[in-house]
Each structure stands twice: as C-alpha cells, then as structure tokens.
Chains A and B, each alone.
Chain A
C-alpha cells in the first residue's frame, strides 16, 4: 500500500478516535493519537490477518500492551472490517463490546485483554513461545507506552524474550515522552530506552513514529532479524494531529467537549 493511502487511513483512524472519545465522554485521546500511525501501518500493511477469520491459524497477532489506547485499536479493527464502524460510538457505554480497555472475549480481532500496564508484553512473549512450539510463521507484535516501561514486569518480559531469542516477537514503544502526571523524566526517568532493550538482548531500531516510510522499513528489518527479538522505539507526539492536544500531558485521559471535538475534527479534515 502506498504511503499516501496509509496517511489517509491514519487520518480516518484519528477522526474515529475523536468521535469515540467524544461519544464516551471519557477515555484516552493523547496516547491513541500518538499511536495512530504505528497501528495503521500494522493493521493495513504489515500484519497477516483476516477479518473474516479472526482465529485464522498461524496469523500475526497484535497485543495492545498500552491498553488505554483502545480507541486507536478499535478504530483500526473497525476500519479493517472486524466489526461495524457504527459500533465505535458505543465505546465505554454499558453493554458495549468496546470496553474502556480491550477485552478479547468480547470483541473479535482483540488478541489479548489488556489495560493493566506491562501485562501485554508478557502475554506477547507467551504467544511468541507458542508460535515457536508450533513451528508457525505467525509473528507477534505488541505496542507499549513509554510510561509503561516503568512497570517491572516489562523488564521481566524483556529478559525472557531476549533469553529465549524470540525473533518472531516485535515490540514497539510509543515514545511520546508524556504520562498522566507529566513528563517521563519528571515522573520517573525511563531513558535510555534503546540501550536498556539492547542490553536485554534485543535488536533495537529507532524511528520517527509518524513517518510511514520509516515505520514500514523498521517492521521489515524486524521481520528479517533472526536470533533476537526486535524493539522499535518510535518517537511520537502525544495528541498528534490535533493542535491543542499535541504535547499536552493533560490530554492523556480526558475527553474533548463539543466545541473541542468539532475543532479537532476540522483539523483532521472531518466533521463531528
């Protein structure tokens, strides 16, 4: 797929994120918008998946370790055809399949229930081990937040992935530098991210997480890397695409009001 097409899809994904969070009246727009290009690349170019057969054998699997970016995941799954796009506005409402954080038992296409930070990458390591046992070619992808790296289990999982040389595993860090309480470096410094993964036995790639050429190249290099897992540290902007949300920790977990949502949609080339 051409990069321009991916950019167009990413724009739709961002519009859907705003619609979802606005309809819900709560949720996490900042980290969903920062991850939108990475998820678009995975769901519309990289991964071998089939919406008609969500349980397809030997498929690629994606685990949203930063489960609070659920609006971005749901937007991609709906756009890809796993469920009707009309369902997006039911996010966080009672009876909806679109839980505040993803639930695999409720929604087709969700490979792992997440939301409690750090647990996604741990499950992804298990999935990669299972794939190796089965001798399959399916790959496992997982997306982490940078604040999430403060969870100890992330490094337990990173150690295990390095130890077992899981080259069918690719982790992506959405490095937007911000978390709920502020900047990573003020809350709890997570730097240097690349060096940490490297000493845990990972192949490390550093890219601009909003540049499709770099994202796709990195995913291809990850696929070709043998004997070790790959982590792609993607530099991103929290709230990317909506001027008043960009670079603002305050938009981590807050829904826009009607006026703000309208402005956001206008900036993203859509209508509320």
Chain B
C-alpha cells in the first residue's frame, strides 16, 4: 500500500527548502501556521515569517505590498478563508497588480472532514479561475505538490495552490517533473478519458482499474493546472476517446468540469460527465464518509464513465 502524506505537509517541507534557496521568500499566515504547516518555515526563518493574526483580508493586502516591493510571498490559510474571505483583495491588490504572491490554501474540499460545511470550501477553484492572470494549481499527491510549489516559486506572478488536510496516497515517484500548464497523462486508454484533479487523480486511477477489469480502457489525466488549462491534452482526450469524465473534490460549477467543458464545446464537442460536489453544502464526517456521501469515490467515477460511454 502506498505511503500517505497530506499535501499541506508537502507544502511545509517545500517551504523550508525554498527558504534556503531564496532569501527573498517571505511567508504569511493567519493564525493557522500549525495546520497549514507554514510553522515549519517560521521555525527556521523567523525573520521572514509574519503572522497576520485572524485577518485574512489584511494578510492578502500585506502580501501584495511585500510582493510589489520585490518579495516572493507565500500566504496561507484554509481554502475557505483564503479564497472566500479575501477574494476581493486577491483580485484587486494581488492579481490586478500582477503581484508575485503564492496563495497556498490548505484544508480545501470536503476532506477537511469533521469541521463541517463552514470550513469545506468547494468553490475556490471556481473563484480563483475567473480572475484574469491567476494561475490555479491543484496537486494530487506529495511529490507533485512539492514540485508544483517549487515551480510556482520560480514563476513570476500570482498563483493559487490548492492543498488538502487529509493524508492521501503518494502516486508519483520521487523526482518526477511537473510543468505548470502541462497536464500529465498517467494511464493510457481510448474508450474514455478521466480528467481528474487533486486528490481525485488517485480515485480516477482506481476507477480505471475497475473498468479495465470489465474491458473498458480509460485514459487518466492529472490536470494539476486548472488555469491555464492544457487545451491540447483536453482536445486530444475528446478526439481520441470520444468521452470525457471530469473528477474534482469541488463543486461541479466553475471548477475543472466547467473549464474542460468550455474548451471541449468550442474545440471538440464530445460526451461529458462531471464527478464533483453537486451544488450542495457539505457536513461533518470522516473524509472517507464524505467522499462517499458526495459521490467522489472511484466507484462513482466508474459509474459516470459507464453512463457516458
């Protein structure tokens, strides 16, 4: 069985490494540094860590000010507060100015678990994707999270990176390379394509295994970059497989499914289905229970593929 690591832990580790490489990296948090793991950086580089207190809007404003003064800023909170509470500051002070701020939002999606709907953000990809110039990343596991966080640090401009609370299986080999904007085909197949993002990549791989046992060969693509979307890979999936199922731990409104549909309907219309949260609020529960409750399991993906064929 694969090792399980939460992508927020990957973040803490990557930050410490980045801090050593780049003295211009500054990290901000809003009283959640233990949970988001920015404390790892704060412990090693206390002079370059600023706690904004429970004031996410001002944290993003300070991040903008630091960034336009030449710093590479990582700003963290839970996805709900980072993308929701601070949305307008992200839009007007960070994105409109092209500020070099990396918003690393942890505890995204329903797998935040027991805290319930108030903390289960399933709208962040949608919110961030509509902002001009914003790059939106959603890594699937520890290896890709660390690689993409480092790629984001090297990239000049605003980036939103979605990270999770729950430990999830490591699916990539150490050292695998990831490029912002380039989706990764992780399984070949021509009967259908499952385009998955974040922790749903693992579910998609399991779904493909189940379907293979029934003679259905699915392509699985890790769409770790929601924006800019890898249109070539999406169009290839539409043309070569004729059927696309998207899978995201996010609302089916505005996230990966919508992004793929926007491209497919213009460039290569094909049958589509979307696995995701169906326009409802979450609730308290264990991450696994919630994945089942909201139809986010490998079984749900396999069912969607069969309905779409």
Contacts and interface: CB of A to CB of B under 8 A. Distances in A.
Interface in B82-101: 88-89, 92-93, 96-98
A233 to B, nearest CB: 21
Contact of A123 (B47, B50, B55, B93): B93
B16 interface: no
B33 to A, nearest CB: 16
Contacts of B60: 122
A163 B54 CA distance: 13
Nearest to A140: B65
Contacts of B63: 126
Nearest to A103: B96
Interface string B45-80: 001101011010110111111111111000000000
Given A105-B98, A119-B93, A131-B69, A126 B61 contact: yes
Given A122-B57, A122-B89, A129 B70 contact: no
B27 to A, nearest CB: 12
A267 interface: no
A160 B58 contact: yes
22 contacts: A112-B64, A112-B93, A113-B93, A119-B64, A119-B93, A121-B61, A122-B62, A122-B93, A124-B65, A125-B65, A126-B61, A126-B69, A127-B66, A129-B62, A130-B69, A133-B47, A134-B70, A156-B53, A157-B58, A157-B62, A160-B53, A160-B58
A124 B63 CA distance: 10
Contacts of A163: 53
Given A116-B92, A123-B93, A156 B55 contact: yes
A113 B65 contact: no
Contact of A127 (B26, B48, B69, B88): B69
How many chain B residues sit at the interface, stated as a range, is 20 to 34
Given A113-B96, A122-B64, A156-B53, 7 more contacts: A119-B64, A125-B61, A126-B61, A126-B62, A128-B65, A130-B69, A153-B61
Interface string B92-119: 1100111000000000000000000000
A119 B68 contact: no
A206 to B, nearest CB: 25
A160 B58 CA distance: 8
How many chain A residues sit at the interface, stated as a range, is 20 to 34
Interface in A146-163: 152-153, 156-157, 159-160, 163
Given A111-B68, A122-B93, A160 B62 contact: yes
A104 interface: yes
Contacts of B69: 61, 126-127, 130-131, 134
Contact of A112 (B47, B53, B88, B97): B97
Contacts of A63: 65
A200 interface: no
Contacts of B61: 119, 121-123, 125-126, 153, 157
Interface in A230-258: none
Contacts of B70: 130, 134
Contacts of A112: 64-65, 68, 93, 97
A128 B69 CA distance: 9
State the 10 A-B residue pairs at the shortest beta-carbon distance, nearest first: A126-B65, A122-B61, A130-B69, A156-B58, A126-B62, A123-B65, A156-B55, A127-B65, A126-B66, A116-B92
Given A116-B88, A122-B65, A153-B57, A164 B50 contact: yes
B65, B88, B97: residue with the most chain A Cβ atoms closer than 10 Å: B65
A130 B71 contact: yes
B9 to A, nearest CB: 27
A115 interface: yes
Contacts of A133: 26, 47-48, 71
